[in-house]
Amino acid sequence: MTILPIRGVRHLRRFQQIAQILARHGFGELLDLLGAAPVFPLARALRRRPSLGPPQRLRMALEELGPTFVKLGQVLSTRPDLLPPAYIAELARLQDTVPPEPWEPVRAQLEAELGAPVEEVFATLDPEPIAAASLAQVHAATLPDGAEVVVKVQRPNIEATINVDLDILADVARLLQTRTPLGELYDLPGIVEEFAATLRAELDFYREGHNADRFRANFADEPYLYIPKVYWEYTTRRVLVMERIRGIKIDDIAALDAAGYDRYRIGLHAARMVIKEVLEDGFFHADPHPGNFFVMPGEVIGAMDFGMVGYLSRRTRTDLVRLYVAAIQLDEEAVVDQLIRMGVVGGAVDRMGLQHDIGRLLRKYAGLPLKAIRARDMVEEAMPIAFRHHLRLPSELWLLGKTLAMMEGVGLKLVPDFDMFAVSRPYVQRFMREMASPRAWMPSLIRGMGDWAQLLDMLPRTGMQLLTRAERGELEVSLRHQELGRALVYLDRLANRLALSILLAALIVGLALLVPAFHLAERGGLITALVILGFALASLLGLWLVVSILRSGRR
């Protein structure tokens, strides 16, 4: 068995750490599958019989493996098309909080990025971080003009560590693609490549700053959301300096009540924010946990942390609205048709089984008022269906489902009878009117008319060329089928066997007729020997033909 290709000594050392952690948490079989167990005898010795279930052990192993694998687990928790629901629920518990980095390496990183001593750049800078995560940590500071800011600093050497882990994950994905049934259903190297692009983008603080600017522009006319300012003169790829905002965490109910805030208005603002992001902007905050949102005076919501965002094209948003309408109408056939149009359903899917499962899910909510339906419950109940039928929803849509469920949870905590569908109804209706308006379909119609005009312009000239070649006998039509060559080989073998069977039958019947015709039973000689030899050869050929047919059937 091929050994996992490890690129360089540094990669080998890191892979050894990964192998030992996996073995310690009961995943030693994975090393056997990869052919890596002989390389790491210590990992084999560390194997033990696990006491916890596989989902719990996987979460613990990912947490111990470090930031790359924690991020991988968080991404997988949004992909119920890849993992069963029990794993999704457990991976959603992954925590991205780690002990802070010592101040001196962080200070060195800051000064290397800013090109000056910290004291020359900031009036004050607290060495004790106010937050620490796997990729970066955040420090409070003030600028020379007195402005309060937060300084987000990438952990020293974290980029090199992540690059090594991503190389190893790419190697593992390539082997699993060929050695497991998952490779027949999913493009595992493609999934790892997409994850690597997402993680490397999260390491680029320039990108995060531009995300904040885009959100600010999108919500310029909405007074209920506040996006802090980015100080670009102090921002680099590894350092982000933003305005510091103060307020009450959006899920701190006691503090909100003590401040006299209207919780219903706060929940309404949070819901409107997400719906606008999804239906109007196609650009949404994909990490809306309560720690990233503060309530400021006037029930204004202040948002933070724009490293993880999602994008929805106009076509995707249109597909989602159509899917939403079909689901509201409890039309499981229309839901399946829409999923097929979206490219979610594979060619080998059991359509009737999928339609039955979706119909059973929709009938569960038949007759219920919309305010009694929870987005979180629907997402969780759709997960087993997606896994069972291998529905390949884009990762952005699973990320959107998780985002909606998280924001609905915040709304329900603020207002127990919060109705997300009631808030979204006017936005959906407005989007549907826009879908039917000439402004929506006219551009595609104009593009289509341009294509048809070009085709009609080319058709006479191209048609004359084809007719001329056909008259001269120069026109050839060739058909190519991927499996046609193999089918022809099988047909050739079948025809040969059939011909051989007919010849054998004729030979045996002919030899049998010679026996009474020449009275061979009463005389010996050369003719009798030839007839006996013919019977022997025919018997051997017949036996070979039977064995060949039986072996072919087993294959």
Q: How far apart are the first and last CA of the chain?
A: 24
Extract long-range pairs of 387-391: CB within 8 Å, 24+ residues apart. 387/80, 387/81, 387/82, 387/83, 387/84, 387/85, 388/357, 389/345, 389/349, 389/350, 389/353, 389/354, 389/357, 390/81, 390/185, 390/346, 390/349, 391/81, 391/339, 391/344, 391/345
Q: Please name which of 346, 362, 405, 353 lies closest in space to residue 77, comparing C-alpha atoms.
A: 405
Q: Which tokens is 335 given? A: 């839901």
Q: At what angle do helices 54-65 and 8-24 cross, to 10 degrees?
A: 150
Sequence letter at residue 451: D
At a CB cut-off of 8 Å and minimum separation 6, what does 254 contact? none
> Alpha helices, DSSP H only, in 66-126?
67-76, 85-91, 103-114, 118-121
Q: 300: which strand partners?
A: 296
Distance of CA 210 to the CA centre of its chain: 25
DSSP 365-428: TTT--GGG--HHHHHHHHHHHHHHTT----HHHHHHHHHHHHHHHHHHHHSTT--HHHHHHHHH
Mapped onto helix, strand or coil, the DSSP state of residue 241 is strand
Q: Is 96 a catalytic residue?
A: no
What H or E segment, with its residue span, contains residue 288? none
Active-site residue, selected from the candidate residues 287, 319, 357, 419: 287
Task: Please identify every residue annotated as catalytic.
Answer: 287
